[in-house]
Structure 1
């Protein structure tokens, strides 16, 4: 029993020594310096924005395109930990979320051989095998 009391006491003392790193939590301590919100309006449109004292900002506007499709567009900006400025501009609609930003990865270029093949196929649609009826079988019993 005494061992249990001593272990609980040591655990309590060690918890009292814990101090979170204030630098790691600095982003959580950002203050909002401006903020707006409009809507939802009777037509379904809305808009919001905010700016913080550490340079983070975000904005979005949205409206219904049809009964079941909402279109939203906006942007956000901040500075990455390595000092790189990040800006993302986006549209979200029936085609999904489409983002643009200099920091986003880009696909590698299409190899020349593939480009030539695509050009050939476009110039020779008469040779397209997808329109031919499938040949029967292919398996021979012997």
Structure 2
């Protein structure tokens, strides 16, 4: 639940301080189901200036997405999961690591196929 509060706070702070924000934006839809006894929750909202967010989860973690329009007019969409492995976002605009070089892949395969032998020293 704390993670939800952080995400919403960041979105609200960004909306307040952005120079190009549509200050007359209206809430188009809003849904907030109260958490049940097992900790399951669900919420979603959408505004007239292109901001959308939805999330569902339980005590184990959450999954959701959010979208917004940049000052340049570019639309961004991020989906995520948040669980024991942390916050894991994905989106076309997010950076990705470079591919592992072929030589390194071959080395890793060789090491896996030929594990080092333990040397026992006699005294």
TM-score by length of 1: 0.65
Instruction: Name 1:71's counterpart in structure 2.
Output: 61
Q: Which of the numbers 37, 42, 49 marks the counterpart of 1:47? A: 42
Instruction: Name 2:100's counterpart in structure 1.
Output: 110
After superposition, what is the alpha-carbon deviation per residue over 1:58-92, rounded to whole angstroms, capped at 9, x for unaligned? 0001112xxxxx31110001122222221111111
Unaligned stretches of 5+ residues in structure 1: 1-22, 65-69, 135-142
Aligned partners of 2:29, 2:114: CA distance in 1, in Å? 60
- Structure of higher RCO (CA pairs closer than 8 Å, 6+ residues apart): 2
Aligned partners of 2:27, 2:38: CA distance in 1, in Å? 29
- After TM superposition, give the deviation of residue 133 of structure 1 in Å: 5.8
Q: Which has the larger radius of gyration?
A: 1
Cα RMSD (Å): 2.1
* Structure 1 runs (4+) greater than 3 angstroms displaced: 131-134
Aligned partners of 1:78, 1:109: CA distance in 2, in Å? 29
Instruction: Name 1:16's counterpart in structure 2.
Output: none
Instruction: Name 2:86's counterpart in structure 1.
Output: 96
Unaligned stretches of 5+ residues in structure 2: 1-17
